[in-house]
Amino acid sequence: MGARVMIFGRNADALEDTLKDFRDAQLEDRVHGITADVSRKEDIEKVFREVDSQLDGLDILVNNASIGHNGVMDGNYEEWAYAVNINILGYIACTHEAVKRMRKKGGGHIVNIGSMSAHTKDEGSSVYVATKSGIRGFSEALRKEINKDGIKVTLIEPGAVGTDMQPSTPDEQRDKEEDMKMLKAEDVASSVFYALTQPRRCDVVMIQLRPHLQII
């Protein structure tokens, strides 16, 4: 829709696959991508140095990085810390940098991708639920903090989505999508687009997006 987009991720091969899709669609001049890990302070600093060099200011931030985790008795301190750093601290740090830039422009929009887990609080996933519940609380308080600056905040909470976070194989995911038991990534993207394209007077505060046959 004419936006200039910058993306980043930990996995260089996955990043290159995504950038190749843009090249194949003849959109490579609109998209820039780098490898970075949102759990690392120095990588977040690198990302926003790149933002400043590649973009003419910053209008939109989509916080979407996430890894799965199970219950409190699974894993160890280092694994819990890594999940928290990616799933919630990374959102806070990126938002901090984005708001500094958006205030200079007089407005913007932050979209946080959460999870239905903040609502369902499934047994056996307490660490993951803690991070996603944190995103919900962060989003609600953040909107009150920066609304006066003309910066919108939207929280989107999807159900199961066919991504690398799922324990099922890609073929099994495609079957679940066909059976309406799992969303596609494009469905979440459509919700992001909807929230971003509403009139300035209209804040889309939260969208809960569930597969039709994932009864929660």
Active site residues: 128
- The CA–CA distances, whole Å, from 120 to 57, 130, 158 equal 38, 12, 12
Cα three-residue angle 184-156-43, rounded to 5 degrees: 90
